[in-house]
Chain A
Amino acid sequence: MRCGIGAVTSCLLLALLGAPPTGATVEGARDLERGGDPLGAREAFDSLAADGGGQDGLIERAEFLERYGDPGAADAYAEAVAAAKAEGSDLSVRLLRRRVITALIHGDSGAARQAVESLGDGASEWDLAEVALRPPADREFDAATVTGSLNSFQRMAALSTDLPLAEILPALGRTIFTGGYHASRGTGALEPTEYLKLLKQYMSLARELDSFAGADRLIDIEVCESSETAQLLKIIGYRLRGECGPEAVLETVNPSRAFLSIDSAFPLADLELAFRRGEPFRYPYQPTQLPVLFGKDYWYEASDRSQDGFVDTFVDDPGLARLYVALHNLHRPTAEALRQAAPVQRLKDYAPVMDFFGAMFEVRDGAAVVPGGARSRPAWEKLTGEQAAAGGRFFQRLIELDDGWLAAFYDALARVQGQRARAYFLDPRRIERFYAAVRGKVTSPGPARPIFRASADLLLLSSRLDFTSGGDPRIPGGVAPWRDLFVKHPHGKYDGKLTKSAAGWSDADDVIEAMFALCRKAIENEPLRIFLAVSDLERNRSVPLSPETVARLIGSYPDHGEQFALYSDSPDASEEAILAHMDVMARLDRIGNALRRADAIGILQAQLAMWQVLRRNGSIPDERADSSLLALLAAANDSSDQQAIFEAGRDGVLELLRAAGSEEVGTPQETLVDLLVGASDEGEQEARQAVIGRVNQLLTLQRLVPLKILFDLADHLERVSRGEPFNIAMANRLSESISDIRLPRSLLSAEESNAMARGHWVERHIERQRNLNLRRAVDRAQGSPNRLLSIRGELAGVLRDSLVGIVYALYAPPGAELIRANPLFVRSHDFLGPEGRYSWARTRMQSTGWPSSGGGRLIGSLMSLPYELAAAEQNFMIPTERQALIWQDLAPQMLLGATLPRWWRLEPADLHYVGLHLRLAKSLLAQSALDSELAAIVRPRLSGRVEPSRVWRIEQAFRRGDVRAGLEVVTPAELFDLACRLREAGGDWLAPAGEPHLAAIEDLERRDGERFSEQRAASRFGMPHPRLAHSYRLELLNVPLFPTLMGYSSRILAESWESNNLHWAALADELHIPPEELNLRIPEWTQRSLERIFATHLDDWPALWRSLRLIADQVRSEEGRGKGPAEVAKDGPRAASGD
């Protein structure tokens, strides 16, 4: 039994009584749950059930299990039904219905079918039940043949072995057109890459093995000494060294063939072992049939048919592969409509446009469903020149026009979320006006030319624009500062035409139109970046920023824009503080001495980072926020010499402690770390001490000097200046701490020295500390109080490292290998960067892959330190699957979401609130699989968030009775949003359909409406969005899943994935894990999930979601619940068809 917050009394009671409780009552179990002890409640319910329970007890138990997502709920309902029948109760229909739903959610369609049959007339309103619960039938499909082992083929084709069969050809197609060909240097013609050459060589080798295997598709070597052995070894490129028997060894004779054999996982070791042991070798070599969309003949119309089969045709024609991917990923009825509307060859020409921008296309009942519906339809029809009613032809026109710009614009607007944004962007006049701006006069090059989608700007603008309560777009500072941004670049820095037209801007639409116009530029869209950053800064402010401050921010953005996140995180910061910050940054930039500049900037940034954390975790209250920030900035203003920098650093630490209400300055570092880790309750001390212990361990490994030693020494030096004798023991404490510091590298060879010249070392900073000799300095300064006082300045660099180290340790990702392995990692932080221009820029890693360096180090500001530490750590993960991590942006974003938040002072009910929402959404979706009336209510809300192609897949899964597979297509963030939106919509249908989750949610909200709310849940279990929202605050933006985008914007994809913490919260709720343990568990679970991801391509977020589910199953197993990993693996992805 675990005792969470608020459960102490219950736990004590149970401990006294002994567990499991005997003589438990329903009310007692309820009290346990309400008291924060769901595990105790479960035990009490189980005890009730074991004792016979009675109808009430069994019903409550079943509902309890359902509310906590326990797969045992379906059986529990069956027991409750039996009890109800035995007692002659009329509740059995309701209970049987719950049994059906819970069985469907957990994938037991057999039990669901049985329960529906028992329901008889009670299931009459489930008009779809007959279809949905029909036993699955084998479906016939036209298939492509993969010769030999599918696993080998997938290895050679770089495909995940987790893929369902129906997803293999599309995944192969994407790999072929993204990595199978490159343009020849001379002619520009497409040439196969090394990857494709190897794949084709493997396919040839597989055919030879297939031929060798014969009609029974079995590679069978009965005895080692045989002609078959020689024949097989020749095919796979090996020979026998030594005689058959114990000395037999296989060694390479044909390296090309041998490489293919190894790389494709031919069981060479088993073959050799069979030869050594004199045993037969048998290796099944069955081919695999892959379903082909529309049948093979359709595709043969568009390509030269290979005599070796469809897969060969596919890999030989990247255009065909891309069309296959594009049509496969489309909403299937829409793909069918396009197929009818245009010949395959013509569609092939526009495959890239469909591939990038087709996800939101939808033909329903023969007509195109356009963004904005009937109101906007005329605008879209005007732009395409085709009636929406024409369905497939409408979309054909859409993809063919303007080199793809219209399709790109359509895609961006179709993803717009929220009523205000829809009302604004989908206004017919604006659709035409903004598209005209996007289109410009010359449409080439189109947006679909590169292999990866080029620009995120259209999506960012349409998804992140903020609106006033009146529905107008919020333009920070009004139009004037933005007009100036363009006008004051008379040479047309951004766009000559816009520079001219800007003078006449009068309203918000003018500004937004200009932003749209810049979206099609191939160059960096700086105005949009500035606009979005300042918009995010203003988004949550109660009072808008003045035009003057906005103008200042706009001007400051190129140099200091990264720092704006400080104010996005703290919307109550005053304009005075914002302006003071910009003043201080500019002033520090002007310090001529580079080492002094780095110390001053490093100390200030570390303190601001701590202030940010203390604000985020509530340690600095609102009323002290601004004054403490101003005090930090004021202290940093005087950086005239090293001594002033040290004093500013010390004053800043004391200010932070004061602002957080701590009077304990005797042990400043311990107190500071304690505050930064966050306030917690008495019962959370074990988890809290583990977090603090980890921070302290990392500080020790970095051999950083504790603040107390530095501050005591500074005080002592002041006393020495007044005549007190110098305390050598005190100086020795410092020198002991830093005597062990070594330079980044030992002896350098000449080559290495030359190689290192490219780097910008921080050796002087480290060397200065190594050479620090206070005793000598005091001896030299004897007789001069001022000189004695100034010795404190020598400590500024040491103080900088100690403060920066605390921030590093606080944000250290799981593993923290770089901090553990490189004792100079913190000291090596370069606050200047090349040419001293990176002081306020985003943090970035340098010197990796350079063995002669002292290892990688971070340069730039500390603002994006949490992300960059996580990014650096991802290469220390050990994938459990053979394919290395491929998402350079996804992994750090996930780690960031796991390490940045702290989960203290939560109740189990806080987790339950999240879990209930996810389960409510699942339950309603499952019921919509059976009930067309409910489907008509639920699906439109789902369609508002989930793209049509996925909605179609969900529907298909429901139609074949695989409700669980359908639910797995929806992410936790989408489920949470769906539950909230459906509750918002309300209606008579909700209460009966939402039981038992809805009642529990409402119960919690009645208890404490502020604590249990969508907003509060988002602030606890959302994700930080440093790029999308310029903030590290946890929130749920409820944006659609963005596609992969080129450049930095693949971070946008990562940040649009908001499901992790919701998923983990629901898991912890299900398993009754105390909330404070999330501080340790979520980082661990996240790392395990990342190591388990087996993705094929950058857009393969289902692989991520699959990995999260697998780790959850493993955790359930480890906690003694649910299926073990082996059973999970057995269920496997193969069971779930993609279509």
Chain B
Amino acid sequence: MSGIRGTSSWDAAARVAAVALALAWGAPPASGQVPSALDEPSALFEVEVDLVMLNIAVTDQRGRYIHSLKPSDFRITEDGIQQSIASFGEGSAAPTRVTRIGQRPVAAMPERDIQLTLPESVSGQLVGTNVFVLFDTSNFMYRSLVYAEDAIADFIRGLDEADSVAVYSFSRNLTRHAVLSDEHDDALRGLRRSVAGDETALYNCLLLTLRDAAQISGRKVIIVFSNGPDNASAVSPDDVGAIAEDEGVPIYVISTRELNRDPISSNAFRRITQRTGGKAYFAKTWQRQSEAFVEIREELASSYTLTYYPQPNPNRGWRSIQVELAGPDLRRYRVRTRAGYRPKL
């Protein structure tokens, strides 16, 4: 699950993050009084702060992205319970808060009940996407490493300025070549610092990347570029997929192997991407790989980010999420997002 819960057992740091994000989506900034808000947590936590974020791709029958939908076009249910959309955004644009009378930009909303300033660092994170690129430098990728790097470099160059990007690689262990930053040149430098490795522990390293991504507020995705076979991980793809689903992080996979060459990995890629609302691409040639990156970039620019505070729900286990488009004209479109999540215990 993305983000935030309001319980009395929170530590101070978690509270600050919660305040920041709750405000980002639900409350206006005013003069800076964070300390006073923390002094009075009861006032702060009068509202439900379990925020669920969904990245939603809407496509037509031919896979083309549908733009310019409105919040009222979406109907979200969780375990069958209708939810109210709290905020709405398309692509890298700044999100807007959804009210009964329509949408308002977060920054322009009137003062209501909480007097806090949204820290600039947090505000910045809500615009654009936080992209974690995780690429395979194991010996399986040895022959295609240079082309992979070229394709990833093209992808980074083409990202929206508002997007932040981190570049990680993996073989037996994870390496953080460039930490998350909107300085895309740093990411390119990090990318070009990679070094060929040995064994492949894709799922271990994907899990570690998820742990990093989970600490970031705002919209985030992980893009895995891999040859496929994993010979060293101790965690299963499905456990990693479950965590990504819970954290609300879509995973995209570009596999440099053909679908039928490694059915076990291919199935794992499909499962993990489907359940998180991402997508798997099987692209053997570097041209296909570049196309896959272009498609992912287009999806990032075209997909919708919706948040909601869940209605009371006694289910402490897995909660299913259904997103439908309202209105007869829209029902023909395909909607892709995560299938559900498990609240943190």
Contact = CB atoms under 8 A, between A and B. Distances in A.
Interface of A: 155, 237, 249, 251-252, 255, 258-259, 262-263, 265, 267-270, 272-273, 700-701, 739-740, 744-746, 749, 751-752, 755, 817-818, 821-823, 845, 848-849, 851-856, 872, 875-879, 882, 884-885
B235 A252 contact: no
A739 B185 CA distance: 49
B208 A855 contact: no
B91 to A, nearest CB: 23
B171 interface: yes
A262 B177 CA distance: 13
Interface in B217-265: 230-240, 243, 263-265
Contacts of A875: 172-173, 201, 204, 232-234
A751 B263 contact: yes
A922 to B, nearest CB: 35
A1069 to B, nearest CB: 29
Contact of B150 (A252, A739, A849, A854): A252
Contacts of B197: 884
Contacts of B38: none
A265 B147 contact: no
Determine which residue in A255, A262, A268, A751 has the highest number of CB atoms from chain B within 10 A of its CB, and name it: A262
A855 B175 contact: no
A269 B175 contact: no
Contact of B188 (A155, A269, A856, A882): A269
B10 interface: no
A177 B153 CA distance: 37
5 contacts: A249-B157, A265-B192, A273-B188, A849-B199, A851-B233
Interface string B154-176: 10010000000000000111111
Contact of A752 (B185, B192, B203, B267): B267
B236 A885 contact: no
B232 A821 contact: no
A270 B186 CA distance: 10
Nearest to B176: A878
Interface string B283-325: 0000000000000000000000000000000000110000000
B345 A255 contact: no
Given A851-B236, A854-B238, 8 more contacts: A155-B195, A252-B146, A255-B147, A265-B195, A821-B240, A822-B235, A849-B199, A884-B171
A272 B149 CA distance: 14
B191 A845 contact: no
Interface residues on B, range: 35 or more
B236 A854 contact: yes
A821 B207 contact: yes
A263 B232 contact: no
B264 to A, nearest CB: 5
B194 A853 contact: no
Listed from nearest, the 9 A-B pairs whose CB atoms lie closest are: A856-B234, A855-B236, A849-B231, A258-B146, A269-B189, A884-B173, A269-B188, A269-B192, A252-B146
Contacts of A265: 192-193, 195
Contacts of A272: 188
B145 interface: yes
A848 B173 contact: no
B196 interface: yes
Contact of B198 (A872, A879, A884): A884
Nearest to A853: B236
Contacts of A267: 189, 192
A270 B192 CA distance: 10
Given A818-B234, A882-B195, A851 B149 contact: no
A721 B301 CA distance: 65
A252 B286 CA distance: 11
B146 A255 contact: yes
Contacts of B271: 746
B268 interface: yes
A237 B145 CA distance: 13
A751 B260 CA distance: 11
Contacts of B207: 817, 821, 876
B263 A749 contact: yes
Interface of B: 143, 145-147, 149-150, 153-154, 157, 171-176, 185, 188-189, 191-201, 203-204, 207-208, 230-240, 243, 263-265, 267-268, 271, 317-318, 345
Contacts of B145: 259, 262
Given A263-B196, A817-B207, A851 B264 contact: yes
B305 to A, nearest CB: 26
A39 B300 CA distance: 54
Given A818-B235, A848-B233, A884-B171, A269 B191 contact: yes
A701 B242 CA distance: 13
Contacts of B199: 849
Contact of B264 (A252, A700, A852): A852
A241 to B, nearest CB: 9
Contacts of A872: 234
B232 A752 contact: no
A270 B188 CA distance: 9
B317 A739 contact: yes
A856 B171 CA distance: 18
Contacts of B194: 262
A626 B20 CA distance: 57
Contacts of B231: 849
A882 B150 contact: no
B204 A252 contact: no
Given A740-B318, A821-B239, A875-B172, A851 B234 contact: no
A854 B263 CA distance: 17
B175 A249 contact: no
Nearest to A748: B267
Contact of B234 (A823, A845, A878): A845
A848 B265 CA distance: 14
Nearest to A882: B195
Contacts of A876: 204, 207-208
Nearest to B148: A252
B313 to A, nearest CB: 15
Nearest to A744: B236
A849 B232 contact: yes
A263 B235 contact: no
Given A258-B146, A851-B203, A851-B265, A856 B173 contact: no
Contacts of B143: 255
A730 to B, nearest CB: 18
Contacts of B171: 884
